[in-house]
Chains A and B, each alone.
Chain A
Amino acid sequence: MNHFTFVFRPSPAAALAACLFCAPAAQAQTITNSGALSFGAFVAGTGGSIVVAPSGGRSRTGGVMLVPQGGIATAAQFSVTGDAGATFAITLPADGTMVELTSGSNTMAVHGFSSSPAVQSLPPDRIVRGTLTGGSQPLSVGATLTVGPAQTPGSYTGSFAVTVHYE
């Protein structure tokens, strides 16, 4: 009967390198956009703001008059996919981030991004944390649009980005 005994005394650096090389590779997460954030149509009046909730519901403040026709209000739709059970952190535009809708030289500011699942960080950050159950997580994003008094009529467009971090 033969017995073989191996004695290893790896250095800390070697142990770290071995750990990094041997760790199972995580499936890269992806985030895709499938729907735009639309504030719909409205008459600016004396100005105010329009809030589109993550549910897609629209409300207003000030003298803005909402118009149901000519473009409905919708929340932006995203989908995060990756390993089931993986945790993630989605970063929305932080408060103070310049997000604008433009029509020629005219602009309107978009701020106060909200989401479902809800943001869990303190302002000014807007971070959503969660776990991928079943390997995917839908995300709805709403925001607030500031409308100036007698805002120049037109079709305003813009964009914003969200990032997902694998944790």
Chain B
Amino acid sequence: MNRAACSARFIRPQGKLSLVLMAGFGLLSLGGLTADQVRAATASTRATVIAPASVMRSWADWPVTVSLSGGWVRLVIPAAAPPPLVSSLSNPLNDGDLVVRVTPSGDAAAADVRGEFATSLSLLAPQNDGRYRVTVAFN
């Protein structure tokens, strides 16, 4: 049986220069990998502040009648009121918007809101003096 033996030894880098070069390659590789792992994206953000003065003008020009009966708050927006239309009915004492339904059906925020609206008094929170306050906002 013919046997042959072969051996090899890893040769250590000789001198400080070789070690510095190897360490440098390692750092370069690590740096490149890190740069590829961070990404950023930007989102726009926006808000629209509506002038309260326009609310007052609209209220004065096209008065809204408010009545209370049977546990319901009822508002009537005059048919003569032109666009921009009433956009919401809210009660500042509650968090979030109230759902305002057009009589007999519909949503005040969905379409033409001129006409008659009603919302349950149970959805409103009274003020400290026991009165209820509702606000009609115009665009």
Contact = CB atoms under 8 A, between A and B. Distances in A.
Contacts of B131: none
B105 interface: no
A163 B45 contact: no
Contacts of B92: 45, 63, 65
B97 interface: yes
B135 A65 contact: yes
B60 interface: no
Interface in A56-88: 58-61, 63, 65-71, 76-78
Nearest to B94: A60
B91 to A, nearest CB: 9
B52 A44 contact: yes
Given A66-B88, A68-B88, A16 B38 contact: no
Interface stretch (B5-13, B61-69, B71-79, B120-128): B5-13
A1 B3 contact: yes
A17 B38 CA distance: 23
A163 B35 CA distance: 12
Nearest to B28: A20
Contact of A158 (B46, B109, B135): B46
Given A36-B44, A66-B96, A78-B43, A1 B19 contact: no
Interface in A1-42: 1-11, 13-14, 16-17, 20-21, 25-26, 28-33, 35-42
* Interface of chain B, main secondary structure: mixed
B30 to A, nearest CB: 6
Nearest to B29: A20
Contacts of B52: 43-45, 150, 153
Contacts of A3: 3-6
Interface SS, A side: strand
A136 interface: no
B19 A5 contact: no
B4 A2 contact: yes
Given A3-B5, A68-B88, A28 B46 contact: no
B35 to A, nearest CB: 10
Contact of A156 (B4, B7, B48): B48
B135 A160 contact: no
A91 to B, nearest CB: 9
Interface of B: 1-10, 12-13, 19, 22-23, 25-26, 29-30, 33, 36-52, 55, 85, 87-88, 90, 92, 95-97, 109, 135, 137, 139
Interface of A: 1-11, 13-14, 16-17, 20-21, 25-26, 28-33, 35-45, 50, 58-61, 63, 65-71, 76-78, 99, 101, 103, 108, 110, 141, 143, 145, 147, 150-166
